[in-house]
Amino acid sequence: MTLQNFMNEAISPWMREEGPDSDIVLSSRIRLARNFANISYPIIADKDKLEEIRDFFRDNYEHQSFEEYKDFAFVAIGDLSPVEKRVLVEKHLISPHLAENAETAAAIISENEQVSLMVNEEDHIRIQLYFPGFQLENALQKAFTFDDFLEEKVNYAFDETRGYLTSCPTNVGTGMRASVMMHLPALAMTKQINRMIPAINQLGLVVRGIYGEGSEAVGSIFQISNQITLGKTEEDIVEDLQSVVKQLIDHERKARTRIMEQSRTSLEDRIFRSYGVLEYSRIIESKEAAVCLSNVRLGIDLGFIENVSRNILNELMILTQPGFLQQYAKRTLSANERDVLRASLIRERLQLEK
Amino acid sequence: MECQECHERPATLHFTQYINGQKSEVHVCEVCAKEKGYMNYPEEGYSLHNLLSGLMNFDTSTIKGPQQNTFKQVQELQCPKCEMTFSEFKQVGKFGCAVCYDTFSGRLDPIFRRVHAGNTKHQGKIPKRQGGDLHKKKLLEDYKMKLRRLIEDEAFEEAAEIRDKIKALENKPEDPEEGDPS
């Protein structure tokens, strides 16, 4: 597997499969933070120690496979151009923080992009596992087996009382962050989500917007994850998160039905206007594109728009990010140039559906 | 009423705390309240960042009033492995290495309690290879808890099954000194 494959396709291979409740839950993710027992953490460790860790991963895992995750690519972040780094961040294969740690950071990514392992992020090891749709339990089981696979060769920093010892006190214990990405346009439209977020926070869960700065959700896509990592089992944490997600799914479906009953025509109008904008505009900013894509996706889910695949939201949300556009253009683009290219890529992509 | 933390001094502070929607009564003495971080909760509506830096700067002097601490010389804790000091840890909000957890262990409970809704002890996964005897220990704990619950519910048949499982586990030859049942 080479870096080029990750760069060319906006949509990761695992996203092509449809998971349970995928009209609302786009993806499920489990992240485990782990560290070597005998080496200082990346914020303080000597560079040569961190390089040893990086080389350990290259020597032991490059081109290896684990179960259905084949042919791991080893990517040294320091070898990447700024645009390439950005593309990996936009695809959620690496974190923005990893991209900054260029000197010693690396990523191990499986061929289907379902597993990615970040080396020398805030912790020595961050295991990330994605599943399409609402499949947190499956993701957790897989993450556990992958964790065991790594532990065959790595001595983890672990303590009976404190659990997995992470660099940040907010991750100690399980070191686990479970999250789901949800498309909640009806709850956002009716502003119900604003009332629900504080209640969800009360339960020790966090809600934030996608590509999240603050809690503004671009295109009605929200990420919900656990905050607490200590004092509960991973299974309990996932169960708590699942029960909230189930309720959100339920509320979103009810809100969609209610809007359909009460203001069907204006909803239809909104959806088709957005469709029109995507199909005909020549300049489009990323925020407007996100809003229109969200509306079109809702139109597909509600049956207003036929013959356009649901995946178009996931795919175009990534494809129209600045990094990807520049990767596509093979050069640096100004904001204006990006808006033009974005509009043209969206038009082309919609043409493909016809 | 005695203090629920030290079980020595009388409880002089009584309050109700809501953690993740769960209500619990707290009865502690003043000494434990300071030590265990029951006081000085930040207000609601903070971001994670505020929360972190706020709680790292947790200092008992804010409760007692600064004048009482002025003459006390505080020995600065420093990690023997990565050389991070406790004040650096508070400032950065990150541990420097695994040994920091031991070095600062006496001062971590209040921090963990705040970040993790009152929890200070890991309940989750144990590493498969490194875990060794811990797996068995945890399984026993789980069984014993189940047993207590079943007895409370008067489900004696199921309880007997669990009791047999506990016996079988405890009698495994490789670890004969494991605890005493009943």
What is the tens place of the pLDDT at every residue in B49-98?
555 666 665 544 444 444 444 444 456 889 999 999 999 999 999 999 99
d(CA A128, CA A30): 6
Interface residues of B toward A, Cβ cutoff 8 Å, are: 20-21, 48, 52, 81-82, 84, 92-98, 101, 108, 111-112, 115-131, 134
Contacts of A177 in chain B (CB under 8 A): none
Mean pLDDT, chain B, rounded, equals 77
Q: Which of A158, A197, A247 to mutate to test the interface with B (most CBs of B within 10 A)?
A: A158
d(CA A120, CA A43): 9
d(CA A147, CA A151): 6
Q: Are strands A158-159 and A125-132 parallel, antiparallel or unpaired?
A: unpaired
Q: What is the ipTM for the molecules in this complex?
A: 0.88
- Which helix H or strand E contains B103, and what residues bound it? helix B99-103
Q: Residue B64 has what pLDDT?
A: 44
The nearest CA of chain A is from the CA of B152 a distance in Å of 23
Q: Name the residue among A307, A249, A256 with its Cα closest to residue A19.
A: A249
A211 pLDDT above the threshold of 80: no
Q: Residue B53 has what pLDDT?
A: 60
Span A287-297, mean pLDDT?
93
Pull the structure tokens for residue A209.
């917007």
Q: Which amino acid does the sequence have at B146?
A: K
Span A182-197, mean pLDDT?
92
Chain A residue at shortest CA distance from B119: A231
Q: Name the residue among A288, A264, A271 with its Cα closest to residue A338.
A: A288
Chain A residue at shortest CA distance from B94: A168
- Name which residue leads in pLDDT, B104 or B66: B104
Span A104-112, mean pLDDT?
95
Q: Which amino acid does the sequence have at B110?
A: P
Using the beta-carbon criterion (under 8 Å), do B96 and A169 form an inter-chain contact? no
Q: What is the pLDDT of residues A213-243, one digit of tens each?
A: 444 577 899 999 999 999 999 999 999 999 9
**Look-up of token digits 């649901």:** A310
What predicted TM-score, i.e. pTM, was given to this entire model? 0.81
Q: Residue A261 has what pLDDT?
A: 96
Q: Which of B94, B121, B140 to mutate to test the interface with A (most CBs of A within 10 A)?
A: B94
Q: Residue B57 has what pLDDT?
A: 59
Using the beta-carbon criterion (under 8 Å), do A173 and B123 form an inter-chain contact? yes
Q: Residue A69 has what pLDDT?
A: 93
The nearest CA of chain B is from the CA of A197 a distance in Å of 12
Chain A residue at shortest CA distance from B49: A170
d(CA A155, CA B129): 9
d(CA A130, CA A162): 27
Span A143-160, mean pLDDT?
96
SS3 A268: helix
Q: Which residues of A115-133 are buried (b: 16+ CB within 10 A; e: fewer)?
A: bbbbbbbbbbbbbbbbbbb
Pull the structure tokens for residue A88.
């990996």
Span A82-94, mean pLDDT?
92
As a whole number of Å, the end-to-end CA separation of chain A is 32
Contacts of A170 in chain B (CB under 8 A): 48, 52, 115
Q: Angle of helix A312-319 relative to helix A322-329, nearest 10 degrees?
A: 70
Mean pLDDT, chain A, rounded, equals 92
The nearest CA of chain B is from the CA of A40 a distance in Å of 4
User: For A234, which of B20, B95, B124 is closest by C-beta distance?
Assistant: B124
Span A58-81, mean pLDDT?
94
The model's confidence at residue A1, banded by pLDDT at 50, 70 and 90, is low
The model's confidence at residue B46, banded by pLDDT at 50, 70 and 90, is very low
* C-alpha radius of gyration, chain A, whole number: 21
Q: Which of A172, A223, A240 to mutate to test the interface with B (most CBs of B within 10 A)?
A: A172
- Name which residue leads in pLDDT, A20 or B139: A20
Chain B residue at shortest CA distance from A141: B125
Q: Residue B118 has what pLDDT?
A: 93
A289 pLDDT above the threshold of 90: yes
As a whole number of Å, the end-to-end CA separation of chain B is 30
Q: ∠ at Cα B29 (B26, B34), nearest 5°?
A: 90
Q: Name the residue among A6, B30, B48, A66 with its Cα closest to residue B40.
A: B30
Pull the structure tokens for residue A224.
């919900």
Q: Residue B182 has what pLDDT?
A: 42
